[in-house]
Structure 1
Amino acid sequence: MFRSTPPLTPPSGWWTRPWYIAFLAIISIIPLIRPEVPPLVDLMGHMGRYRVELSAPSSPLLTEYFSFQWALMGNLGVDLLIIPMAKLFGLELGVKLIVMMVPPLTLTGFLLIAREVHGRLPATAGLVAPFAYCWPFQWGFINYVLAMALALNAFALWLYLARMGRVRLRAILFVPIGCLVWLAHGFAWGVLGLLAFSAEIVRMRDVEGRGYVEALWRGALHCLPLAPPMLLMLLWRSGDVQGETADWFNWKAKYVYLVSSLRTQWMEFDIWLVSLLILLVLFGIGSIGWRRVGVDMRRTLGVATLVLIIAYVLMPRIVIGSAYADMRLAPYVVAIGVLGLVPRTTNRVALGAIAAVALAIFGVRVWQATVQFAGISAYQEKQLAALDHVDRNARIFALVDLPCLSRWESPRLEHLGAMAIVRREAFVNGQWTMAGAQLLSIKYAPAKGYAEDPTQVMRPRRCRAPRSRSIESSIALFPRDAFDYLWLINASRDRWPINDPSLKLIWNGGERGALYRIQEDVPPFRFKPVR
């Protein structure tokens, strides 16, 4: 299918200098400098878990509200890393520094892969830079994107050692490397395995001259050093791991996830950019295009792209109870394809122009993310001002007024309530629970049915999940004796409860957001809940 590109390394230029990789990595940090807490959708929910994890055994967080049991599983990246980081910098700054590591590590992984495959960075390599802020990162799948950053750098090392003929050393090194990537997140370990297998197939064919069948089984044999985590997965899955694997071949969702690979706040630009990149990858895969202006695809990453496409098509939306499994892979499918591209032209002026356009596009993304993160963070901190009026170790029932998921822009407030755990060591509803698949569980029985995720999420009726509650019905039905406060996050004034003597308004955020203290021994005003 591929017409192999000429065995010549791409022409040199300013984009092939070592400082170019360092420059892209450094500027990728800029959007995360100003926000006190990186405004990623799920991150604050994870931070609530980290606070429980780091709490003293005598803390009410562990004695009354939550249980935290360590277990060996492929989803422990930041949960482990935050232990030393919190001791050095505190929880919030420690998390921020870890998150700030992810974009530059992702970029170095991408660009080192490109340099290994091409022998020198092609002018198109910079087009991959926006994927450092891909949708899984924006969503706050922090263990996954950290593990993917490690996996990408590990794959670059895999290619380097193969090029140097150090296959035996590679086999020794990748036993612990594979285990570490799996420990950070099992999905990333799976992607690393697919990339390594793809590269070995091509190496067997192009370097050692093996036949197709022999290349397949020898490629699999060379990937055995990555296999030990399979034993760890068997141990993990043999425990009390519940959660379904479902929603196969949801084509509409897969299309949305693919075009959302670079989803932020600017829909037209996001879709235009990822569509252009997908088109370029398709041109490369088919080895089609104009004779002098088109692009080619290096076989190593061309095969890897095809393998990832197959994995994306076959992967269900929900894996072991973890939603958005295929969505997490989508940006990396496109990114690996972009890395395999090399312009056919050798004209240095044209190549310089391509590299300059790639750099300009990333500059726009960095500027956009910087402004966006600053604005979202400022609004989040405005809502978090309610916590100044909350007693330590209190019990809070939080409701977040959110738009439909179909809306391109996200206010990123789904798990803002978890900051009450972080800053006030309070109990608040909204933590994820899944036996055997989460380290944290909720043991506060009085809040049963009003404690877990997504009891805090309130969406408009037109896009609400079946049998889910509205703000009004949640306020009417939640157990008052189980909580000390009702916290309405981002709720407009027309959603605030009135004429309810059991709720005393003690803080309001202007037109959005309110905090109520629940009055003991005062019966609530009863009305028919609105569904």
Structure 2
Amino acid sequence: MSPKAPLPPRRALDLSRRTIALLFLICFVLVAIPIVTHPIPPLSDYVNHLARMKVIAAVPGDPDLSRFYFLQWSVLPNLMMDMVVPLLDRFADIYVAGEIYTLMCFALIAFGTLYLHRALFGAWSAIPLVAFPLLYNNIFLIGVMNYIFGIGLCLCGLATWILLRDRPWPWRYAVSCLFVLALFFCHLFATGVYGVGILSYELMRLFDRKGGSWKTRIIAFVTAGFPFALTVPLLLMSPTWGLKGENYWEPRGKLDGIEFVINVYYDYVAFSLTAVVVLAAAWAVRHRLLRTHNMLFYLLVIAGAVYMALPRTVFATYMADQRMPVAIAFMVIACIQIDLRHRLAQRGFAIMLVLLVAVRVTEVQVVWNNLTQWTVAFQESITKIKRGSKVMVAYADPWGGSQPQDLGLVHAACLAIIERSSLVTTAFTVPGKQILRVHKPYTDWVDTEDGTPPNREQLLVTEEEPTPDGPRYWDLWPQHFDYVYLLFTEPGDPNPDSDRLELVYAGDRFQLYKVIKPPPAS
């Protein structure tokens, strides 16, 4: 009897590891272009955070900054950037350090999505690279850099938990405790997203009859939450606990939070990219090439319920609920697998991926290039400020900063902290949220509540008398400040108070005034 002929080797379901790594590198280089070419990206909170990094790195060596600011280190769920960027500043200037940190966030999120998919399906796949176009999203435009870093760490933590799930339990819980600890210092909300991921996976295991007896499964389900007990003493030790009563639930904006995942600047770009992905997924479903992990159902149910229940403001932090869908989106991507064994599918996916990333990067690059005109103008205006001055920020338009194109102006005045060692009223100095503090008597002249800066009318009213309904940090501003930045102006706007303000620089959307000091009282 003749021996049977050997069976032909079965073609892999996905691209090779080398090809996946090459695609990862190509996509990462593409998404890095806007960051590398714009040292001051037009993100809302970014410059404010970067100014704090400068103070951390410079105090007490800078006498002007030391006169205004000091650091009060404490247990805060908002410290990752504060610990990383000042270290990078030792080897590069603060702007390059910020770029490196931002690219670290991108790399960690992209790798975390790949890693989570590997943990769920047992093999590396190119499908999670679809996460790259989503790295630029509306939450990123807000500039919440600690939370962005936490998303990547959360994905890696969940993947590690899954890989250790059937290993001896001490390793699983010890590693999870380390991730909970690290995530807490990234951001409290990132810890919560990690908890949603663990709960979703463990709930799936609970109803899996192959996981042993009901008793064994219930014990494993309950004990999975033990590492999160670390957050209780940490939070009680933190000054953030003092903000526990500042919560506000708002039903409007829930749909906006979901749209923030795909939308950056132009609606038609977001919906076009989404349509391409949906059509590709429909094609894969039609040809029975797409499958999802069982965890996906539990993830969508639990994340949806938590999202609807989350307040808009938690611990005095705004957009608490709207930050969540972005992180969940990367988990959803990791739960999807598509059979790419055919060469046509492999080539089609690779082409589609690079095109998606290129379109998103082009959108961001074009908008940021257009916004460079005010970035350059703002940097030029900073040179007009005397070193060690006190700078007030006010709005010409009370609704300014609501459009994505205006976000970069919201905290641009904090460049005066970096470049001129100035006191700026809008620097983040909220107790329980940041480690930056202001010395007396300047404490009464800055915003310590993350409020909205005064408008033109409020400045005029409080020029010589305090605010009628209570003290405000801008009361009697001509006596306390050297310069005023008026943001969100229109070209040709007149001087709002020629008796107290002298125009120093006029940009496209802002004006810089020097304060004319009132004569001393007789």
Q: What band does the TM-score fall into relative to the shorter chain?
A: 0.7 to 0.9
Deviation string for 1:440-474 (max 9, x for gaps)?
A: 234454673664565664xxxxxxxxxxx532432
Spell out the pairing of 1:266-285 with structure 2 (5 A cutoff): 266-273=266-273
- Residue 86 of structure 1 corresponds to 89
Report how many aligned residue pairs link the two structures: 496
| Distance of aligned partners of 1:74 and 1:232 in 2 relative to their CA distance in 1, 3 Å threshold | same
Is the CA contact 2:155–2:331 (under 8 Å) kept in the aligned structure 1? no
SS in structure 2 opposite 1:251? coil
SS in structure 2 opposite 1:326? coil
SS in structure 1 opposite 2:318? coil
Is the CA contact 1:126–1:355 (under 8 Å) kept in the aligned structure 2? no
- Residue 235 of structure 2 corresponds to 233
1-side partners of 2:442 and 2:25: how far apart?
Answer: 53
1-side partners of 2:259 and 2:214: how far apart?
Answer: 34
SS in structure 1 opposite 2:322? helix
- Residue 128 of structure 1 corresponds to 131
SS in structure 1 opposite 2:391? strand
Identity of aligned residues (%): 19
1-side partners of 2:275 and 2:437: how far apart?
Answer: 41
Alignment partner of 1:11 is 2:7: no
- Residue 420 of structure 1 corresponds to 416
Shift of 1:340: 1.4
- Residue 305 of structure 2 corresponds to 310
Shift of 1:120: 3.4
Deviation string for 1:353-403 (max 9, x for gaps)?
A: 245323321221122223333333442231221111111110111235566
Deviation string for 1:149-191 (max 9, x for gaps)?
A: 122122222233336x354433333322321121121221222
1-side partners of 2:11 and 2:227: how far apart?
Answer: 30
- Residue 292 of structure 2 corresponds to 297
| Distance of aligned partners of 1:435 and 1:79 in 2 relative to their CA distance in 1, 3 Å threshold | same
Alignment partner of 1:152 is 2:152: no
1-side partners of 2:491 and 2:29: how far apart?
Answer: 43
Is the CA contact 2:394–2:486 (under 8 Å) kept in the aligned structure 1? yes
Q: Which amino acid aligns with 1:115?
A: R
Is the CA contact 2:20–2:126 (under 8 Å) kept in the aligned structure 1? no
2-side partners of 1:401 and 1:362: how far apart?
Answer: 37
Deviation string for 1:405-426 (max 9, x for gaps)?
A: 6545444211001111111110
Alignment partner of 1:169 is 2:165: no
Shift of 1:90: 3.0
Q: Which amino acid aligns with 2:81?
A: V
- Residue 504 of structure 1 corresponds to 502
Q: Which amino acid aligns with 2:410?
A: E
Shift of 1:217: 3.8
- Residue 353 of structure 1 corresponds to 348
Alignment partner of 1:470 is 2:455: yes
| Distance of aligned partners of 1:327 and 1:499 in 2 relative to their CA distance in 1, 3 Å threshold | closer
- Residue 75 of structure 1 corresponds to 78
| Distance of aligned partners of 1:214 and 1:496 in 2 relative to their CA distance in 1, 3 Å threshold | farther
Deviation string for 1:213-251 (max 9, x for gaps)?
A: 7534412314434542332123226x7623534332x33
SS in structure 2 opposite 1:264? coil
Deviation string for 1:268-314 (max 9, x for gaps)?
A: 22245458879999x9xxxx996535743211343233322222122
- Residue 253 of structure 2 corresponds to 253
- Residue 438 of structure 1 corresponds to 434
Is the CA contact 1:123–1:342 (under 8 Å) kept in the aligned structure 2? no
1-side partners of 2:186 and 2:433: how far apart?
Answer: 14
Which range is displaced more, 9-18 or 197-206?
A: 9-18
Spell out the pairing of 1:76-115 with structure 2 (5 A cutoff): 76-115=79-118
Shift of 1:431: 2.3
1-side partners of 2:236 and 2:48: how far apart?
Answer: 28
Per the normalisation by structure 1, the TM-score is 0.82
- Residue 366 of structure 1 corresponds to 361
2-side partners of 1:342 and 1:141: how far apart?
Answer: 30
- Residue 41 of structure 1 corresponds to 44
| Distance of aligned partners of 1:120 and 1:401 in 2 relative to their CA distance in 1, 3 Å threshold | farther
1-side partners of 2:297 and 2:197: how far apart?
Answer: 11
| Root mean square deviation, CA, Å | 3.4
| Distance of aligned partners of 1:264 and 1:172 in 2 relative to their CA distance in 1, 3 Å threshold | same
1-side partners of 2:37 and 2:27: how far apart?
Answer: 19
Is the CA contact 1:240–1:435 (under 8 Å) kept in the aligned structure 2? no
| Distance of aligned partners of 1:495 and 1:474 in 2 relative to their CA distance in 1, 3 Å threshold | farther
| Distance of aligned partners of 1:453 and 1:414 in 2 relative to their CA distance in 1, 3 Å threshold | farther
Spell out the pairing of 1:207-218 with structure 2 (5 A cutoff): 208-210=210-212, 215-218=217-220
Shift of 1:476: 5.3
- Residue 381 of structure 2 corresponds to 386
Per the normalisation by structure 2, the TM-score is 0.83
2-side partners of 1:20 and 1:328: how far apart?
Answer: 28
Is the CA contact 1:496–1:514 (under 8 Å) kept in the aligned structure 2? no
SS in structure 2 opposite 1:52? helix
1-side partners of 2:215 and 2:308: how far apart?
Answer: 24
2-side partners of 1:409 and 1:48: how far apart?
Answer: 21
Shift of 1:512: 4.1
1-side partners of 2:415 and 2:164: how far apart?
Answer: 44
1-side partners of 2:340 and 2:25: how far apart?
Answer: 26
Shift of 1:104: 1.6
Spell out the pairing of 1:303-342 with structure 2 (5 A cutoff): 303-342=298-337
2-side partners of 1:359 and 1:167: how far apart?
Answer: 41
1-side partners of 2:264 and 2:215: how far apart?
Answer: 43
Counterpart selection for 2:195 from 183, 193, 196? 193
SS in structure 2 opposite 1:506? strand
2-side partners of 1:369 and 1:258: how far apart?
Answer: 20
2-side partners of 1:214 and 1:400: how far apart?
Answer: 60
| Distance of aligned partners of 1:326 and 1:216 in 2 relative to their CA distance in 1, 3 Å threshold | farther
| Distance of aligned partners of 1:190 and 1:174 in 2 relative to their CA distance in 1, 3 Å threshold | same
Is the CA contact 2:425–2:445 (under 8 Å) kept in the aligned structure 1? no
Is the CA contact 1:429–1:453 (under 8 Å) kept in the aligned structure 2? no
